[in-house]
Copies of this chain bind each other. A is one copy, B any other.
Amino acid sequence: MKKVVIGQAGGPTSVINATLAGFVEEVMDEYNLTFLQNGYEGLVYGNFLDGTDEINSWIVENKHVPGACLGSGRFPLEAEHIEQCVQQLRNIQADALVVIGGNGTMEALSKIEQEAANTGYELQVIGLPKTVDNDLGGTDHAPGFGSAVRYVAQSTLDISRDLYSMRNFEQVRILETMGRNAGWLALATGFLRRYEEDGPHIILIPERPVKKEIFLKEVDKIIQKNGCAVIVVSEGVKWEGADQIEKEVVDGRKILGGISSEIEFLIKKELKIMARAELLGMNQRSSSMSVSPVDYKEASQAGICGGKWLREGKNKIMVSLQRTKQFDYNINKIPVDLKEVVQEGERLLPDYFIDNHQAYYEWLTPLIGEDLPSYPSPIPRRDSYVREPF
């Protein structure tokens, strides 16, 4: 039996285990499975887990569980680590390596394959896509994104109704979404917006640095008209001419974050109204309350497809999801060269969507699933507005 090593890397999603379980179920009878613990760190240090019947069933039971059940991580892979990875795989005589992840994961996978080839070791590698912020190249979208959108869109609408009803007490809420350099998730918060009174009233994305003066005027205008404003900001948003805002987590290690608090402070100081910043938080990538059925299905299918292609001997590729050109939403799984994925780098929101939110929301529609809330207007009338937030 051939031996395949499978792992999960980067920030988890609420459906990353569905991809893992799909893959495991597809290949468990024909392959000797070995699991990687804690992503690439586990590979560097040879932290493997044998795919016994018990472990395999436990993985399958984890299908619906958020987080990465094998352990993930953000291990910074240096050149010497790549060599160590290859050495570890060679030690256990692995025939193939499959990793579920985003941009960084695919880059590492490509490097490991090259290093193996350079040393005459024939290693089959396949990447399985995963991201909440949709910045992974080479694919129409990646599993994890649809559920994250469902979470942020529903939260934003619900919090809007809450704020609207309290606007005599509190005028501004600033909601911070994930998205380091790409505004996919932030812009998606307007997906359920139907009425002018509902938020988000302003969406700030990393692709467009923000001019303070213009921003404050816009907030003031909305407050004058609506009595309150919901502002959504992606964690990676910059003020014009400034850097992204970082927050020290420990001993000099930094993460993005803090822009929503800066906006809160600015609005309180300049407009003298009550403002409250809050992160939409880890629920964006882990909430089991808002899993999109379509996203879950695609996550699982990406894993199954990876298993099939492993058997077929496909190599140096990532499973990508591509829309067919039919009228109805339909996804083909297409192999895309890992090098192409790496070359594309972080995929930002295209100008077309930034300039035409409605087009973006139509593109999003099939990814989110059904049974989403549809509320009557916040004040008694019947007309509904378009979703453009600004």
A interface residues, Cβ below 8 angstroms from B: 8, 11-12, 14, 38, 41, 54-55, 58, 61-62, 64-75, 151, 154-155, 158-170, 173, 249-251, 253, 255, 268, 272-276, 278-283, 285-290, 373, 375-376, 378, 380
Question: Which chain B positions have C-beta within 8 A of A54?
Answer: 380
Q: Evaluate contact between A162 and B286: CB separation under 8 angstroms.
A: yes
Question: Which chain B positions have C-beta within 8 A of A278?
Answer: 279, 281-282
Take A74-B169, A168-B73, A273-B250 as given contacts and tell me if A286 and B66 are in contact as well, using a CB distance cutoff of 8 Å. no
With CB as the reference atom, state the residue of chain B lying closest to A59: B380
Q: Could you give 14 example pairs across A and B, Cβ below 8 Å?
A: A38-B168, A55-B380, A58-B376, A61-B376, A65-B161, A67-B165, A68-B165, A71-B164, A72-B165, A73-B168, A255-B276, A278-B279, A278-B281, A279-B279
Report the 5 A-B pairs with minimum CB-CB distance, sorted nearest first: A67-B161, A162-B286, A68-B165, A58-B380, A67-B165
Name the distance in Å between A165's Cβ and chain B's nearest Cβ: 4
Take A41-B168, A73-B169, A289-B289 as given contacts and tell me if A158 and B14 are in contact as well, using a CB distance cutoff of 8 Å. yes
Q: Evaluate contact between B65 and A376: CB separation under 8 angstroms.
A: yes
Q: Evaluate contact between A168 and B282: CB separation under 8 angstroms.
A: no
Name the distance in Å between A132's Cβ and chain B's nearest Cβ: 11
Question: Which chain B positions have C-beta within 8 A of A169?
Answer: 73-74
Question: Which chain B positions have C-beta within 8 A of A376?
Answer: 58, 61-62, 65
Q: Evaluate contact between B166 and A288: CB separation under 8 angstroms.
A: no
Number of copies of this chain in the oligomer? 2
With CB as the reference atom, state the residue of chain B lying closest to A278: B281
Contacting residue for A165 out of B41, B71, B283, CB 8 A: B71
Q: How far is the CA of A4 from the CA of B35 in the complex (A)?
A: 67
Q: Evaluate contact between A72 and B288: CB separation under 8 angstroms.
A: no
